[in-house]
Every structure is written in C-alpha cells, then in structure tokens.
Amino acid sequence: MAPKRKAPLKRKLAEEFPPGEVLVDTAKKQWKLGTPIGKGGFGLLYLADENSSKPVSNNAPYVVKVEPSDNGPLFSELKFYMRAAKPELIQKWITSQKLKYLGVPKYWGSGLHEKNGNSYRFMVMDRFGSDLQKIFESNGKRFSHKTVLQLGLRLLDILEYIHEHEYVHGDIKASNLLLSHKNTNQVYLVDYGLAYRYCPEGIHKEYKEDPKRCHDGTIELTSIDAHKGVAPSRRGDLEILGYCMMQWLCGSLPWEDKLTDPNYVRDSKIRYRDNISSLMTKCFSGKDAPEIAKYLEYVKAMGYTEKPQYKKLREIFLDGLKSIGAKDDDKLDLSILENGSLTAVGEHKKKAAGRSKKTTEPRSSGGEKSPKKKAGLSNPVHSRKQEVEERAAHSSSDLPKRKRMKK
C-alpha cells in the first residue's frame, strides 16, 4: 500500500485591520492604514499615509501590503525591494541616465506588526492606478503601433535598471504593468515575488535545464528557456517583452489556441524563433512591423549570459516610431477617464464602459491579480513560485534581524 501523501501546508489568511491602525517599520517610521483596497491569496492591501492626526484620505500616495509573517510570498518580494528599489537608488539611476522617470516601484519601508496575538509582515509601496491588461481588453485587445513602441522603450529602461542590480523579472505582461496614480502617461512594472537574482555578486548563473521548472511563468508569454526549465536571464526578459509587444499589436499570439498543452506552446515558439519572418506573416497578416522582427532577431542571437545592448534596442524602437511618422513624446494613447475608470473605442465602447465600474480598483506595486495561466493542467509541474514560497517560508524568520541586506 502506497504511503499517503502529505497535504500542502495551509497558509494563514490575514485578518482585516480597522482604518487608523498604525504600523511601525524597521526604521521606526509610523504608517497609518486607511481602507482596504485589495485582497489576494493570503494578504490585504490598504491605502496608507505617514502617521498624523488626520484619517487616511482616498488620495493617499501609498499602499501597505500585509500578510501573516510565516507566509512566504511577501518575504520573497521584500528581498528584491530592499536590495534594488530604495528611493535613493532609483533616483541616482534616473539622474545618471538622464531619464524623466523610471517605472520601478519604490520601497518605502517594512516591518512586523503584532495584532491579537498574531504576527504580520508588511511592506509600504507606491500606489498605482489601473493595469494595462484591463485597458488592453477594453480597447478590443489592441494598442496602437505608437503606444506599443513607447511601452517597449519604457520597459527597456526598467529592465536595464533591474538587470544592472542583479535581478531579472521573468513575468512581464500587461497585468503587471500599472499606470501611475497621478500621471497616466507613466507605466510601472510590478510584482517582484518571482524576481530572480541571476547574477549574485557578479557571477551569472549557469545554463541548466531542470525538468521540475519546465514551462514556469505565464504560458503564452514565457521564454523558451523557461519552457526548458532554465533559470530566468536577461535574454529571457527581452524575449518575453517581444511576445508582449506582438500580442499588444496583433491581439493574440499564434500559440494561444492551445495553452493547455505546454509542449505545443514551447514547440511553436521554437519553430517561429527559427523562422521569424513566418511569425511576422502569421501575426501581422501582411502589415509591416520591421522593427519587431529586427528586435526578435537580436534576441534570438543572444547568448544566455550575454549582456544586452540596451541602447541598440532602443534605437530599433525609435526607428520604428520614425517610420510611422511618430516620436517618443511621453504620451501614451490609452483610453482612460479622469476618474480612473476605463472606456473603450469603437464598437467595444459600450461593453467596456459597463465593465469599468467593476475593474478599476487601484492597485499597488504588489497588487493582487488573477492567477497566472500555468501549464500544469494536464501535466502538473513544480513551479518556481511554489519553490520560492516554500524556501521563503522556512527562512522568513530571519528577516526582522536584518536591518540592511547586502547585494
């Protein structure tokens, strides 16, 4: 008789704190909670502001993510934020690179909070507005050519920054791109719970295929390396960005007809990578987007440990803008109302307007969203997210002891 399998550990749910609850971070700074604005698997999101005698307003600039301290996901995300997202680090990069802004959320503080005999971990982050997935769907699953190229430019800025700080994101997609709460022409890449330190202390991880990690990520967008169980790399981030841009331009990708078959998706990507012109023909139906083909050819030629030529890639997208009579004017052509709700264009307008009331809740940089589309429907795999969470859950007790984490 086969031994019984142990059930997975059940993680605790976070209790809801009342408005006005004050949390004290590791730097002794006080943060006052407002109303909750989001709820995910095991955590809650609250509007927040620096502590004062006034209640937290609906225009509060921060959010606080709270979850039981013995859960793993927030601990994993904290490691990235503490190493690479401190405001002074981001501002130094913006100045040195002469950028107008950088779409990486800022880390403002974190700590532990005791309540009713329970311990909770929290992190203070920037507040954001709608995510691009909602806007993409409201616009009939299309973004304009100009908007897609501008998004590509902003994401290259973001990726260069996090890559230079030893991390890769590994899950770039529209639902992880949030608009600034105050400026809807600015977009931020969020959700670093799966961010991977590909180059600790300057030493790049080796290429190694791991069957336990096959197909990890969002199945339609993940890299070929990820399909093979290889740890995320800079090359993988750029490949995922290429798939995103094609999806935003075309509405869908050729392998989206069978996402429950991970091997089919993998093989389709490999086949089209080997013949990028056929991918262009399939997706664009005779329309011209030479800059996308040029970008994908560049990524195809990259080595696993190779450092991208970010300047060259930006020039490809800038040339693309020039070819359509546009320029990078920092204005995103997105259909957004002043109150933050979504509207659509053309025949989708009425349908999207009815949806907007239900889909415009502000999100934070750690905002909860719908689960990733995983490949393990018919062939379950041990995902990197599970592995990260399990490892973090075992080691999370040491976080309060670390006032500063070394790179």
Round to whole Å and give the CA distance between 377 and 167. Answer: 29
Question: What is the tally of helices (H) and strands (E) in the chain?
Answer: 12, 11
100-109, 193-202, 392-401: which has the highest mean pLDDT? Answer: 100-109
Could you confirm whether domain 22-128+391-401 is CATH 2.30.30.40? no
Mean pLDDT, the chain, integer: 83
Residue 365 has pLDDT above 80, yes or no: no
Give the CATH fold of the 130-356 domain.
Answer: Transferase(Phosphotransferase); domain 1 (1.10.510)
Here the tokens at position 402 are 């670390």
Give the pLDDT confidence score for residue 405 in this predicted structure.
Answer: 36
Q: For this structure, is 191 an active site residue? A: no
Band (176; pLDDT cuts 50, 70, 90): very high
The owner of tokens 């509060």 is 60
Structure tokens at 139: 């616009």
pLDDT in the model for residue 10? 57
Which residue in the list 131, 171, 191, 225 is annotated as catalytic?
A: 171
Residues 73-118 pLDDT 10s: 788 889 999 999 999 999 999 999 999 999 999 999 999 999 999 9
pLDDT (tens digit, 9 = 90+) per residue, 229-251? Answer: 999 999 999 999 999 999 999 99
Contact 119, 141 (CB under 8 A): no
CB 395 within 8 A of CB 200: no
pLDDT confidence of residue 195: 92
What pLDDT is recorded for position 285? Answer: 77
Q: Report the distance separating Cα 191 and Cα 343, nearest Å.
A: 25
Structure confidence at residue 381 (pLDDT): 38
Top-confidence residue, 353 or 241: 241
Query: Is 342's pLDDT higher than 50?
Result: no
Q: Where are the domains of the chain?
A: 22-128+391-401, 130-356
Here the contacts of 390-393 (C-beta below 8 Å, separation 24 or greater) are: 390/72, 391/72, 392/72, 392/73, 392/75, 392/76, 393/9, 393/11, 393/70, 393/71, 393/72, 393/75
Q: How far, in Å, CA of 111 to CA of 75, rounded?
A: 11
The CA-to-CA distance between both ends of the chain, in Å, stands at: 49
Task: Kindly list the distances between the CA atom of residue 116 and the CA atoms of 64, 188, 282, 306, 311, in Å, as whole numbers in the listed order.
Answer: 19, 36, 58, 51, 53
Its pTM surpasses 0.85? no
Nearest by Cα to 325 from 139, 142, 100, 145: 145
